[in-house]
Chain A
Amino acid sequence: MTVAIVCIAGIGLVAAIALALADKYLAVREDPRIGMVTAVLPGANCGGCGFAGCDGYARALVAGTAPNGACAAGGDACAQACAKILGVEAAATEKRVALVKCCGTRSEAIRVGDYNGICDCNVAAATAGGDKGCRYGCLGYGACANVCPKNAISIHDGLAKVDKRLCIGCGKCVKACPKHLIELVPASATIHVLCNNPDKGPSVRKVCGVGCMGCHMCERLSGGKEAGHFKFDGFLAKVNYSNPPEDAAIVAKCPAKCMIEDPHFESGH
């Protein structure tokens, strides 16, 4: 018994000394600012900045190889804090969140087939273009939800929805979507057009009950072309986010019912 206690204690002692020595002589000296910058970054490790996690970005920032403000998740406040640590000027950035520009739910958008295969939008899109009649709409197989580091995206009724409170604007979903219908928009904007189909009205109507027909009603009601609240791509209205419309009354007037005020789905996590 005594022998055992002595032995174990001895091993512990030797190990402790070794560790203490190692800490003293083998420690890696690091720029202390790296730790400080890491501390002000959100710590989400989302990779949206293009570096391997927050730590990677912090190192690059301190080394001067990365621009300040690349962290979408941290937004303006984070950029300011980093700037203070690094002693540079910070350009003001605005918090952006992802917006899924489609509102063709299962009950509104026509499905032309029965997709049978791997549950992933990219793969489904490569199979006859997907099972949705609309070639531009959300397929609802969750490629975006799978890459979201914050689990801010969930699929409801065949449609991806973003929870504005959770979204950090890293932009990973934008890259993942095969239909390219997710856009990063200012978090402050509240009026959105939820459609991605630039086709003419009649062909949109054929495949979806809530598709934009390009009737320009929203533009007219928000002060006409000169006011510049909307832009048009083919027969698709797009909100001009650098000059967003303010009057929420136009939303109810949209004949296609694809305009929505603050559609950011709050999933109640």
Chain B
Amino acid sequence: MKPKTTESHLVLSSSPHTHAKSSVSRIMLDVIIALLPTTAMGIWFFGMSAVWTIAVCVSTCIVTEALCRMAMKRESTIGDLSAVLTGLLLALNLPAGLPLWMAVAGSVFAIAIAKQVFGGLGMNPFNPALAARAFMLISFTGPMTTWLKPICRCKCDAAPDVLTMATPLATMKRLFGHDATASATPHFQQAIDSLPSTWDMLVGNMPGCIGEVSAIALAIGAAYLLWRKVITWHIPVSFIATVYVYSLIAGGAPAYMQVLTGGVMIGACFMATDYVTSPITAKGKLIFGFGCGLLCMLIRQFGGYPEGCSFAILIMNAICPLINRWTQPKPFGAK
């Protein structure tokens, strides 16, 4: 029955009575917008197979989210766009040409296991897209490390566009410890020459995951997020700086190449900056970014996989609550 009320039925709530009109869905939308350039570049280089992967991941995530909420008898959370974002991020972290059923499995894992089991957005300890990627890397190691050669768009020689090849990371792994400046051994020179040119690395004309190849597009997206104040500079800067400095010290391939290849750019700007799984204070963010960079490089140099970015971020996700505890802000006026 409708409650009885007086004529002047006023809204009663606690102060403040005004709001900045920010919302979770707006933030998610901003991140999606920021991912558009790199999505476009991925499609440009990898063609229709990239389109399919993205479409399948996004739609599977949305459907899984809806089903999970229904099963848990909670209100639907499709509107906050976080499922769309998870799907997109996951797709951008997959190689093009991956069998689509694997993409479906990964998306279901991301939403159902990595997110909703913990209570949904805000409660998940790990970045859902990365957790799913790690799960897929372990389950489908072969397909997940088979890289499509980008469609040759610029200097169009006759190369067929379905060739697969190794990512530059695999090459670079072998170079660790060599002195780059001496560059005496012909062996070393040969390896360096086999790497893509700097320009190719910047625009993304190299093998890799759909969304991680184009550094320029990712940088544009990151700039947009910074401008919209969706993210702060702390994590991307400390992450990338750590990677850079580490590779300067460790030697091998030029340091900027370590930054431009693999998942460092997308990881530092989009994955590590995920709110829920990164520390809340500025100091904590710096520590977090440093940890991600360090772990990533350690895995690259010594680990079993050529790329360690996802695992590095996941490990840091796990200790994020600890970092939060260490870096509580000091109240104004507290001793």
- Chain A residues within CB distance 8 Å of chain B: 106-118, 123, 126-128, 130-131, 133, 158, 209
A111 and B5 contact, Cβ closer than 8 Å, known pairs A116-B11, A116-B13, A117-B13? yes
Return chain B residues, CB-CB under 8 Å to A110: 4-6
Q: Indicate which residue in B1, B4, B14 contacts A111 across the interface (CB closer than 8 Å).
A: B4
* Contact of A113 with B4 in the complex, beta carbons under 8 Å: no
* Contact of A109 with B4 in the complex, beta carbons under 8 Å: yes
* Contact of B1 with A107 in the complex, beta carbons under 8 Å: yes
Return chain A residues, CB-CB under 8 Å to B14: 117-118, 123, 126-127
Among B1-21, those with CB < 8 Å from A are 1, 3-6, 8-14
Q: Indicate which residue in B1, B4, B12 contacts A114 across the interface (CB closer than 8 Å).
A: B12
A/B interface sample: 28 pairs, CB < 8 A:
A106-B1, A106-B4, A107-B1, A107-B3, A107-B4, A108-B4, A109-B4, A110-B4, A110-B6, A111-B3, A111-B5, A111-B6, A111-B9, A112-B10, A113-B9, A113-B12, A114-B10, A114-B11, A115-B12, A115-B13, A117-B13, A117-B14, A118-B14, A126-B14, A127-B12, A127-B13, A131-B12, A209-B4
Return chain A residues, CB-CB under 8 Å to B11: 113-114, 116
- Shortest A143–chain B CB gap in Å is 16
- Shortest A38–chain B CB gap in Å is 37
- Chain B residues within CB distance 8 Å of chain A: 1, 3-6, 8-14
Question: Chain B: which residue is nearest A207 at the CB level?
Answer: B6
Question: Chain A: which residue is nearest B6 at the CB level?
Answer: A112
A269 to B1, CA, bound (A): 25
A209 to B3, CA, bound (A): 12
Q: Which applies to chain A's interface (DSSP): helix, strand, loop or mixed? A: loop
Return chain A residues, CB-CB under 8 Å to B6: 110-112, 133
Return chain B residues, CB-CB under 8 Å to A118: 14
Question: Chain B: which residue is nearest A130 at the CB level?
Answer: B12
Return chain B residues, CB-CB under 8 Å to A126: 14
A133 to B5, CA, bound (A): 8
A123 to B13, CA, bound (A): 10
- Shortest B228–chain A CB gap in Å is 28
A65 to B321, CA, bound (A): 43
A76 to B10, CA, bound (A): 50
Question: Chain A: which residue is nearest B1 at the CB level?
Answer: A107
* Contact of B12 with A116 in the complex, beta carbons under 8 Å: yes
Return chain A residues, CB-CB under 8 Å to B3: 106-107, 111, 158
Q: Indicate which residue in A106, A112, A116, A209 contacts B9 across the interface (CB closer than 8 Å).
A: A112
Return chain B residues, CB-CB under 8 Å to A133: 6
Return chain B residues, CB-CB under 8 Å to A109: 4
Q: Which of B4, B6, B13, B14 has the most CB of A within 10 A?
A: B4
Return chain A residues, CB-CB under 8 Å to B10: 112-114
